[in-house]
Amino acid sequence: MTLRNGLVLLVCLAASILESTLPFLFHLKAVRADLLLSVVLYLALNDEVVQGAALSLAAGYLSDLTSATPPFLYTFLAVLTFVVIRLAGSAFKTGGGPQSAAVAFAASLIHSSLAAVLFYFVAPGSEGLVLQFVPLFWSALGTAIAAPAVFSVLRRLDKALVPAEAATLVR
Amino acid sequence: MRSLLRRYREPVFVAFLLALPFAFFAAKARKPMHHNYFDRAILALTAPLEKAIVVAVNGVQDAWHGYVALRGVREENLRLRREALHEHNEASALAEVKAENERLKRLLEYADRQSPTRYLAAEVIAVGASPHSHVLRIARGTADGVTQGAPVVAPEGVVGQVAVATAHYADVQLILSPTSAVPAISQRTRGRSTVKGVGDVTRCKLEYALRTDDLQDGDLLLTAGGPGFFPKGLPIGRVVNVGKRATGMFTAADVIPAVTFSRLDEVMVVLGHLPPPSSAANALRGDPQ
C-alpha cells in the first residue's frame, strides 16, 4: 500500500467521523452530507481503476459501519457508484467547485435511491418500496455542498504526493 | 488463460469487488446485525474520536453561553427579585397541591416496586449520516450491560432499540427506521395498534389500528409493553392524518414521534426489570424459583 492510499484511507476515516458527528452537533435533521460518497466520486474521476475500486470498497465499508443498515449494502453501492461514474467519467468535467457539486448532487440522489430499493426489498420487516424523496433531496444537497471541499482536500493530497511517489519509482 | 486474465485484469478485479459485497449483503441482510473483530477494532478507533469532538465542541458552546449569560446579569437580578415576590404568593397556594402530589407519589412508588425497571443513562455521540440510517451512537456498550435489542428511551418518550453493541459503544436504531415496529396503545381509547417506521425523519405509520377504535387526530399513543418490548406507558407520539374509511378492518394514520431525534443529547437504555424483593432474596439463598 502506497503512502497516498494510506492517506486516502485516513481521509475516509476522518470523513466517516465528521459525517456522523456534524449532523449531531448542529442538530441537522435532513441535510446530511455523505462525505464518503464524495471520496468515491473523486476516486472514480481521478484514480486508476483497480486502486480506486479497492479504495471505494473501503469507503463503503466505513459507511456500513456507521449506518446500522444490513451489512455490506453501502460497500456494494460504493463500488457500483465507482464503476458507474468511472464509465460515465468522460462526460463529467470536475475542475471547479460547481461541477463537482453538480456531479455529487446527481450521484447522491441515484446512490440513495438505489440504497432505498435494495434496503426495502431485502431488509427484514420491509413491505416493498417506499421512496422518501424529501430526505434524499436534502441529503443530496448536503453532499453537493460538501463535495467541493472533499475534492479539494484529495486534490491537494494528490498534488503533494503523486510527484514524490513518481520520483521514488523512477529512482 | 493467463494472458486472457492479464488482459481483462481490471474488469475481473472490479467485478470481483462488486460481487463480493453483494453476496455478503444478500446472505446477511435478513440476519441480525453483528460486528466482527475488525469492525470492532475500527469502531474502537473512531468512536472515541467522535466522543472527543462532541465533548470539545459542547465545551466551547457551554463556555460561550456562560459568557453571554453573564452579560446583563444585574438587570436580570432586579427582575428576578420582583418575580420572586410574586412567586412567594403563589407558593402558598401550591402547598396544598404539593401535599396531594406527595400522596399520589407514594401510591406510584408502590406501583413501581411491583416491577421496577433498570435504566442506564447514555450520552449520544454521533448519528448515522445516510438518509437510510436512522441511527444514534451512544457511549455505552456491553461492558455497561447494554445488550442487542435493548429498548432505548428519552424523557419525552420512545427512541429505539440497540441494533449493535460493542464493549463501550452501541448503535441505536430509531423507531423511524423501516425495520422498527413498536406495539402501541391509545391513551384515550385504549385500542391497540403498531407504530411502524417508514424511513421518514418526521413521522411513522400507524398499523393494525381497528377501525372501530375511533382514533382521532391528536390522540396520544403509549407503549403497550410486553416481554422483550418497551416498558408499558411510555409516549410514542401523536396520531395525525387519520383516514376514515367506510370499509376494511383497520384505520390508516400517521404518527408524529414524541421525541425530537435531532436534539437528543442523552438517552436511557432499558437494561431489564429488577427481580422483585422476594425472588432476589430467594436467589441469594439459592432457593429454586
CATH number, domain of B198, equals 2.40.10.340
User: Does B34 reside within a domain?
Assistant: no
d(CA A24, CA A122): 28
Answer yes or no: do B178 and B196 share one domain: yes
Among residues of chain B, what percentage have pLDDT more than 70?
82
Q: Name which residue leads in pLDDT, B277 or A14.
A: A14
d(CA B101, CA B177): 38
B29 and chain A in contact, CB less than 8 A: yes
From B64, B86, B114, the end of a domain falls on B114
Nearest to B132 among A36, A76, A119 (CB): A119
Q: Tell me the per-residue pLDDT of B94-144, one tens digit each, with 9 for 90 and over.
A: 776 777 777 676 666 555 554 567 888 888 888 876 666 788 889 888 888
pLDDT of residue B282: 45
B25 and chain A in contact, CB less than 8 A: yes
Answer yes or no: do B56 and B94 share one domain: yes
- In chain B, residues with a C-beta closer than 8 Å to the C-beta of A75 are 21, 24-25
The full set of domain ranges for chain A reads 3-170
Q: Are A67 and B127 in contact (CB under 8 A)?
A: no
Answer yes or no: do B128 and B268 share one domain: yes
Question: In Å, how far is B18's CA from the nearest CA of chain A?
Answer: 6
- For the residues A130-159, what does the mean pLDDT come to? 83
Band of the pLDDT at A93, cuts 50, 70, 90?
low
User: Does B11 reside within a domain?
Assistant: no
- For the residues A98-104, what does the mean pLDDT come to? 84
Nearest to B273 by CA among B221, B241, B229, B239: B229
Nearest to A79 among B17, B42, B136 (CB): B17
Is the pLDDT at B287 greater than 80? The verdict is no
DSSP string, B235-281: EEEEEEEEE--SSSSEEEEEEEESS-GGG-SEEEEEEEEPPPHHHHH
Answer yes or no: do B94 and B135 share one domain: no
B17 and chain A in contact, CB less than 8 A: yes
User: Does B151 reside within a domain?
Assistant: yes
Q: In whole angstroms, how far apart are CA A1 and each of A48, B202, B229? A: 14, 44, 48
- For the residues B168-194, what does the mean pLDDT come to? 87
d(CA B37, CA B3): 38
Say which residue the cell 494528490 belongs to: A158
User: Does B33 reside within a domain?
Assistant: no
pLDDT of residue A128: 47
Mutate to test the interface with B, among A37, A57, A63, A67 (most CBs of B within 10 A): A67
Cell, residue B195: 407504530
Contacts 24+ apart (CB under 8 A), B272-280: B272/B117, B272/B118, B272/B150, B273/B115, B273/B116, B273/B117, B273/B118, B274/B116, B274/B117, B274/B118, B276/B114, B276/B115, B277/B113
pLDDT of residue A10: 92
Asked if A25's CB is within 8 angstroms of B54's CB, the reply is yes
User: Does B37 reside within a domain?
Assistant: no
**What residue in A sits closest to B47 (Cα-Cα)?**
A17
Q: Are B269 and B138 in contact (CB under 8 A)?
A: yes
**What residue in B sits closest to A22 (Cα-Cα)?**
B126
Mean of the per-residue pLDDT values for chain B? 79
User: Does B9 reside within a domain?
Assistant: no
Asked if B22's CB is within 8 angstroms of A67's CB, the reply is no
Nearest to B133 by CA among B99, B90, B104, B172: B172
Nearest to B30 among A49, A66, A124 (CB): A124
Answer yes or no: do B83 and B175 share one domain: no
User: Does B10 reside within a domain?
Assistant: no
pLDDT of residue A56: 92
User: Does B39 reside within a domain?
Assistant: no
Answer yes or no: do B250 and B151 share one domain: yes
From B114, B131, B149, the end of a domain falls on B114
Answer yes or no: do B263 and B123 share one domain: yes
Answer yes or no: do B69 and B130 share one domain: no
Dihedral angle sign, alpha carbons of residues B37, B41, B42, B43: positive
**What residue in A sits closest to B174 (Cα-Cα)?**
A68
Say which residue the cell 413498536 belongs to: B182
Answer yes or no: do B154 and B251 share one domain: yes
Is the pLDDT at A57 greater than 50? The verdict is yes
B residues 223-242 closer than 8 Å to A (CB): none
Q: Tell me the per-residue pLDDT of B132-155, one tens digit each, with 9 for 90 and over.
A: 678 888 988 888 888 888 889 888
Asked if A19's CB is within 8 angstroms of B22's CB, the reply is no
Mean pLDDT lowest for which of A78-87, B67-76, B173-182, B255-264? B67-76
Is the pLDDT at B277 greater than 50? The verdict is no
Answer yes or no: do B126 and B231 share one domain: yes
Q: Tell me the per-residue pLDDT of B188-237, one tens digit each, with 9 for 90 and over.
A: 888 889 998 887 778 888 888 888 888 888 889 998 877 667 888 888 99
**Within 10 Å of residue A156's Cβ, how many Cβ atoms?**
10
- Provide the domain limits for residue B256: 118-272
Q: How many domains does chain B have?
A: 2
Answer yes or no: do B225 and B136 share one domain: yes
d(CA A48, CA A53): 8
The class (CATH top level) of A3-170 is mainly alpha
Answer yes or no: do B93 and B193 share one domain: no
Bridge partners (DSSP) listed for residue B250: B210
